Structure formats: structure tokens, C-alpha cells
Chain A
């Protein structure tokens, strides 16, 4: 019931209905619950045939950036650990 899917707006008609695309599947949804104007290209959350809200693209991109940075930091940490354990290797320098 809380099943709510992000979709992209591809068309808006004069009956306050929008056509949205979810990975190639198109549906008609009602914009009756939207106070703000909805435009083609907007990303919205759909629930039981209605647009529930407009997804904040800035926030979404920021979240994705946070995850990217986290991965980079972890990779950097792993790299350093490998170098350190190599530096501390007892057999280093011996032939």
C-alpha cells in the first residue's frame, strides 16, 4: 500500500492528468493532489494512480554524491592499509 514509485513526467493534459514513464511503462495519473505546477521532465512519486509529490532532484543528486564520496573514502582507506601492511612487512628489504 505504501508502494510508491518514482516516475518521469512525459506529458501533461488539460484534465489535470499526466502521462508518466517508469522504465518504458507508461501510465496516466491524476495531478489533483499537486499544488505546484508539474512539468514535463519532472520526477514524481506515484501512489494508487495519483502524483503524491515532486522529487527534489538536488537532494537526490546530493545523496548520490554522498554515497560516491563514501565509496572513494573507503577505497582510499583500503589502499592505505595495503601500503601500511606492506611497509610493516617483516620480510621487506631482505632477499
Chain B
């Protein structure tokens, strides 16, 4: 077997001839499906691949996608976004977060607007950059607003490890890390979205292992295929789902075998477990409270916990979305972005009414950027 080149890891999984061949094979084999396929792709990254490469156009009518809640910024209710704004408004604070949070609208403002007013708010490309900022500003309260699913959680844990090791005392954490399986359970418990197959988030399972999806096929009579993010990955995963259905199988399979194993990254898992534990309650936009679906800092790290230290300035009342915004319904898989009355008109990436339009993993953002002809 020849040696692998870096280019192969990109181009090899985007080859137009293979895409055409897979699309043709799926179309042929999908003729035997007993009922239409309603595949939920949980992860926003998969939604973007599907839209960017126009995969729906290559597939037969009896295969439909239901977009899932796999966008960690989109699922945060407005009151939690207001937390970020409140923290940024502290006199001697520097608020740090990952890029996507900056333009997300809270109830009356956004981090971008606050930054324009002169607040010190910075987007990081890596959580580790927070250390340099904390060391350079010893008299400031440097607060890291941490977001992300299981993929991004270990990086926050690694940052905590460094902060502890280096004895940094002016860096605080506001943890908003969330988990995929409880979210999927909540959507399926709702029962309205008639999902009969899943494309499983891959980079989540690079960390947590594909083992987290093992209960799903039996519980929901729906095959789960863990898919990579290139167009060939997604198409191959759909073919695997079609074959499972036609062969009356209902299993968890890994398509993304070059990066996903059953066990995952155990070192990352241990690091997360050291610093964080599941919260009793966490409100998800559109879905409501899902128990044990989000993480918080363990008690012994309360000294780093911004929710604890700055509790007196953090809003507690739940805030609903604008009544025309159907982000919540879209996150539950019950509507598509173009069903929304304000999609592309009052709600655009420059003037978002909800996070789904402005986040790089939001379904509305994907539909807006890659509008179908």
C-alpha cells in the first residue's frame, strides 16, 4: 500500500468521481427502502457539509435530513448569553471566548456590541492563549467563557490544568460545555420528529469514543453511523444507513474509521472528569431543561468558577426568544431554516435574531451561506 500524503486526507475524501459514484449507488439501493429515510445529522458541522456540497441535490427524494441540536452556541438560552455580557461589563474584566460567541445576540446586546462600546472582549483561537493574557494583565479579572460539546471540553480542562500548575490566580471560568447523548434522548423523548436514523457526530466521539452511541440503535430502532466531515464521508455513511435498513439491521457503525474508535481519547476523558462533573439541570434553547446534559466545575475548583465568584451580577431569569424566531423548533428537528418567516429578511448573519443564523455551526447560517439553486 502506498504512503499517505496530507493532500489525500482532503482531496481523497472529496473526489468528484467517487461522490458521483456514491450518489448513484445510494439512489439505486434506496429504491428498496420500505419507508422514507429521515436521518438526523446531530452535528452542525455535518449540516454545513451537506449544504456546502449540495449533497441533498444528489440524493433521491425518499432520503431527508433533519437538522439536530449540535451547535453549542445555538442551544444556549438568551439568559446565559447575557451572563457573558454581564461578565464583560465588570469594570476590570477581560472576557475571553471562542470566535462564535462574539456576535450571538443576547436579550438586549451582544459581545460584539459591548466590544464596540469599549469593553475588553477578545476572541481566542485557542483556550491556551488565555494564560498569556492573564499573565500580562495581573490586575485584571480574566474570564474565559467556555463553550462547546465534548470535542472542545478537554481543551478547557487542559487550560485548567495549566492554570493550576502555574498558580495563576486571576483567570476564571464560566463553563457552558454540553453533552450530545442527553440532547438526542430529549429530542427523541419529545417524539414529534420522526427520525429513523442518525449520522453521529464524529469529532465528539474522537474524544468520548463511539461507545457513547451504542445504546441508541436499540433504544430508538434507528441505525447510527459515525461519519467524517468530508462529502465522501457523509455519502458513505448514508449508504451504510440505507444498507442497514435494507438488510433489517439496526447497529452502531463507524464510517470515520481513520479517526474514531470505540474508546476515544481516554487521556482527554480523564482530564475532563478531573475538573468537571454533570450538572443537575441545564436549560437548552427550544428544548427546555435536560438533566445531566451539561458540565460544571467540581466543588474543589469553586475558586475558579465565575458562576460562583460573580454570582451577584449574573441574571437568573429564563429569557425566551423573539416570538418570530423559530431556532428552538429547528434545533428540535421540527422545522427547517427556510420555514422561518424572518429567515434571510429580518434575520441575517449581520443582523441575527437568533444564534442559529450567526454561528458557524448553525443550520440557518448554513442555509443562508449555501443557498440552493
User: Taking the complex as formed, is B152 at the interface, i.e. its CB lies under 8 A from any CB of chain A?
Assistant: yes
Residues of chain A contacted by B148 (CB below 8 angstroms)? 1
Asked if B18 and A67 make an inter-chain contact with CB atoms under 8 angstroms apart, the answer reads yes
Asked if A1 and B73 make an inter-chain contact with CB atoms under 8 angstroms apart, the answer reads yes
User: Taking the complex as formed, is B62 at the interface, i.e. its CB lies under 8 A from any CB of chain A?
Assistant: no
Cβ distance B155 to chain A, nearest Cβ, rounded Å: 5
Asked if A53 and B9 make an inter-chain contact with CB atoms under 8 angstroms apart, the answer reads no
Known: A32-B161, A35-B266. A6 touches B1 (CB 8 A): no
Asked if A67 and B155 make an inter-chain contact with CB atoms under 8 angstroms apart, the answer reads no
User: Taking the complex as formed, is B361 at the interface, i.e. its CB lies under 8 A from any CB of chain A?
Assistant: yes
Cβ distance A95 to chain B, nearest Cβ, rounded Å: 38
Asked if A64 and B12 make an inter-chain contact with CB atoms under 8 angstroms apart, the answer reads yes
Complex alpha-carbon distance, A56 and B4, angstroms: 10
Residue tally, chain B, CB below 8 Å to A: 61
User: Taking the complex as formed, is A55 at the interface, i.e. its CB lies under 8 A from any CB of chain B?
Assistant: yes
User: Taking the complex as formed, is A63 at the interface, i.e. its CB lies under 8 A from any CB of chain B?
Assistant: yes
Complex alpha-carbon distance, A55 and B25, angstroms: 28
Complex alpha-carbon distance, A50 and B162, angstroms: 13
Contact with B along A1-43 (1 / 0, CB 8 A): 1111011100000000000011100000110111100000001
Known: A2-B204, A49-B155. A33 touches B268 (CB 8 A): yes
Residue tally, chain A, CB below 8 Å to B: 39
Looking at the complex, which one of B25, B98, B128, B158 makes contact with A1 (CB distance below 8 Å)?
B98
Complex alpha-carbon distance, A48 and B155, angstroms: 8
User: Taking the complex as formed, is B2 at the interface, i.e. its CB lies under 8 A from any CB of chain A?
Assistant: yes
Residues of chain B contacted by A83 (CB below 8 angstroms)? none
Asked if A70 and B267 make an inter-chain contact with CB atoms under 8 angstroms apart, the answer reads no
Cβ distance B164 to chain A, nearest Cβ, rounded Å: 13
Contact with A along B323-367 (1 / 0, CB 8 A): 000000000000000000000000000000000000111000000
Looking at the complex, which one of B73, B201, B206, B271 makes contact with A52 (CB distance below 8 Å)?
B206
Q: Give B contacts to A, CB under 8 Å.
A: 1-2, 4, 6-10, 12-13, 15, 17-18, 21-22, 24-25, 43-45, 70-73, 98, 100, 124-129, 147-149, 151-152, 154-155, 158, 161-162, 201-204, 206-207, 229, 232, 257-259, 265-268, 271, 359-361
Q: Give A contacts to B, CB under 8 Å.
A: 1-4, 6-8, 21-23, 29-30, 32-35, 43, 45, 47-50, 52-53, 55-65, 67, 70-71, 74
